[in-house]
Amino acid sequence: MVRKAGAVFQRRSFQTAIRRPGARERAGGAATQPTRESESGHARAPTITPVIRPLIVNFFSTVQLSRLTHAFAAVANLWFIILWSRGVNLEHPMAATVAESPLWFVLGLASVLGVGLSTYGGALNDVFDVNRDTTFAPTRPIPSGRISAPGASIIGFASLLAALLAAAILDRSVLLVTLFCAASILFYNAAAKHIPGVGIVTLGVIYCSEMLILNLGLRFVWPVMLVVLHAMVVQAAVHRLEQKRPRFTPATIIGLLIGYAAICVFLLWQTRAQGWLWDPIFEWYGLIWPLAAAVLFLISSVHKVRFASSPAFAAEKLQRYGSLWIGVYGVCWLLGTGLYIEALILAALVALAILWMIIVRDVGAWIEQPIGYRW
């Protein structure tokens, strides 16, 4: 009886020892982690978290590099142009492949095109700003060491090739506008963004060309002008909240107004050449939807900025929700035209973007070292 009790005591002492941190090294045990026994006596497999975490960190680092909410905004713009142009009878100058191919096929290629351009732009931004991010944003993929600078360059180049391939499948005109948009993204990240007046106007040109990729002869251009104005105002507010240099001057503001006016003149000029200034299918009272969306975004943005913990955090939230709101404008334009099925399709994309934000925040909290994901 005494011998049996002693054996039980020794077994429990050994199990307690292998659970205690550092006991394996002190006891000179094996290099492999011992398996724990369950109450039933069966060996319990070691946790798989150390195996899964690197995979998830690598995946979300790539997602962080692409700034996926910007990708959702790009895809939402392309989807809106497709749904609008195919749903409105007066819009026929689009490419034959875009107009006649199955909707799922065109939307799929547009998604590849939008995500490819967005990832290309995000990779360029992180590669060019690696020195700045090392000081001011050390949790970004390159400064934190999760992705190397050559690796980010490869991701960006591969994303651009995927976007160009999707554009080439659609039409030659789509490919040409995509090349112009990619060149504008390169100019923005390499030089223009360091000069507020030039950078914000260039950003407006990027959004404008992005929306015209699939229908260069778009007749109803007012949605494009609203998106360009929204993007420029949000970027100007972010620049101000982050207190970037150089700061805004009266000359900068005048330059922004002239730049936006030039974009609008170009859009209206090509519309007038087509013989349309306002699409007859879109009644004036349909403006209630997009105008209400703009007012709602303004009110919510003021609220978020006012109650943010810091100006930098307010800028982060404003940029994040500003990108998502672009899809809301598209839904509102479709609703104002009576294209309810098309509006439902685009609304599903916006809902997916919101769900993605929630998932990323939960996963980021689960990872031992949060990746500081910038939406």
Is the pLDDT at 374 greater than 50? The verdict is no
- Place 219 in a pLDDT band, splitting at 50, 70 and 90: confident
Comparing 96 with 329, the larger pLDDT belongs to: 329
Q: Is the pLDDT of residue 364 over 80?
A: no
| Between 87 and 374, residue with greater pLDDT | 87
- pLDDT above 90 coverage of the chain, percent: 41
Positive or negative torsion for Cα 294, 279, 90, 213:
negative
Q: What is the topology classification, in CATH, of domain 61-366? A: Tetracycline Repressor; domain 2 (1.10.357)
**pLDDT for 27:** 43
Rounded to the nearest integer, the mean pLDDT of the chain is: 79
CA angle (15, 18, 24) in 5-degree steps: 150
pLDDT digits (tens, 9 = 90+) for 250-272: 999 999 999 999 999 999 887 76
Residue 150, preceding bond cis, omega within 30 degrees? no
Segment 72-114, tens digit of pLDDT:
899 999 999 999 988 886 665 567 778 888 999 999 999 999 9
Domain ranges (residues) in the chain: 61-366
Q: How confident is the model at residue 129 (pLDDT cuts 50, 70, 90)?
A: confident
Helix/strand/coil (H, E, C) string of the chain? CHHHHHHHHHHHHHHHHHHCCCHHHHHCCCCCCCCEECCCCCEECCCCHHHHHHHHHHHHHHHHHHCHHHHHHHHHHHHHHHHHHHHCCCCCCCCHHHHHCCHHHHHHHHHHHHHHHHHHHHHHHHHHCHHHHHHHCCCCCCCCCCCCHHHHHHHHHHHHHHHHHHHHHHCHHHHHHHHHHHHHHHHHHHCHHHCHHHHHHHHHHHHHHHHHCCCCCCCCCHHHHHHHHHHHHHHHHHHHHCCCCCCCCHHHHHHHHHHHHHHHHHHHHHHHHHCCCCCCCCCHHHHHHHHHHHHHHHHHHHHHHHCCCCHHHHHHHHHHHHHHHHHHHHHHHHHHHCCHHHHHHHHHHHHHHHHHHHHHHHHHHHCCCCCCCCC
Q: Please check the confidence at residue 46 and state whether its pLDDT lies above 90.
A: no
Residue 67's CB is within 10 A of a number of other CB atoms, namely 23
Long-range contacts of 186-195 (CB under 8 A, 24+ apart): 186/124, 188/121, 189/121, 189/124, 189/125, 189/128, 190/124, 190/128, 195/246
- Tokens 């913990």 locate to 309
The pLDDT confidence band at residue 328, using thresholds 50, 70 and 90, is very high
CB 200 within 8 A of CB 208: no
Residue 19's pLDDT band (boundaries 50, 70, 90)?
very low
Poorest-pLDDT segment among 136-140, 239-243, 260-264, 325-329: 136-140
Pairing between β-strand 36-37 and β-strand 43-44 as defined by DSSP bridges: antiparallel
> In this predicted model, what pLDDT tens digit does every residue of 342-363 receive, in sequence order?
999 999 999 998 888 777 665 5
**What pLDDT, on a 0 to 100 scale, did the predictor assign at position 196?**
87
Per-residue pLDDT at 345: 96
Position 290 pLDDT exceeds 50: yes
Q: What is the pLDDT of residue 24?
A: 40
| Range from 19-28, 105-114, 135-144, 354-363 carrying the lowest mean pLDDT | 19-28
C-beta neighbour count of 51 within 10 angstroms: 9
Q: What is the CA radius of gyration of the chain?
A: 26
In this prediction, residue 94 carries a pLDDT of: 67
pLDDT at 168: 94
Give me the pLDDT at residue 264, please.
Answer: 93
Lowest mean pLDDT among 27-36, 42-51, 220-229, 241-250: 27-36
Bridge partners of residue 36, in order along the sequence: 44
Read off the pLDDT band of 16 (50, 70, 90): very low
User: 8 Cβ partners below 8 Å, 6+ apart?
Assistant: none
